[in-house]
């Protein structure tokens, strides 16, 4: 199973083949192949699988997805805290 977490393109290197980009996943920067997604530009959000951008997201969709992940994380942290004996 794969979680599709949106990442923001912060740099594109068109001098190499395949075309690569630096993508920011909440502070973690990864090098991603964007050769197969030619519509992707600087500051776009992408979904990545195995190092390849497989889809471009609009910013609103990306923000909604990231919000849902943050809510899930908060819920899990609250649940974990409730399991610790006092």
In the chain, domain spans: 7-82
Please tell me the distance from the alpha carbon of residue 68 to that of residue 49, in angstroms, as a whole number: 20
The pTM score is: 0.83
Query: Regarding the domain delimited by 7-82, which CATH topology (the fold level of the hierarchy) does it fall under?
Result: SH3 type barrels. (2.30.30)
Per-residue pLDDT, 1: 52
Please give the chain's pLDDT, 86 residues, in tens: 566 789 999 999 999 999 999 999 989 999 999 999 999 999 999 999 999 999 999 999 999 999 998 999 999 999 998 888 87
Per-residue pLDDT, 19: 97
Handedness of CA 36, 37, 42, 47 (dihedral sign): negative
Mean pLDDT over all residues of the chain? 93
């Amino acid at each position: 199973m794969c979680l599709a977490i949106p990442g923001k393109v912060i740099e594109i290197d068109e001098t190499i083949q395949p075309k690569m980009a630096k993508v920011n996943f909440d502070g973690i920067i990864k090098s991603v192949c964007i050769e197969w997604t030619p519509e992707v530009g600087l500051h776009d959000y992408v979904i990545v699988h195995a190092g390849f951008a497989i889809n471009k997201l609009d910013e609103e969709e990306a923000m909604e997805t990231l919000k849902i992940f943050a809510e899930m994380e908060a819920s899990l942290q609250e649940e974990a805290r409730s399991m610790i004996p006092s």
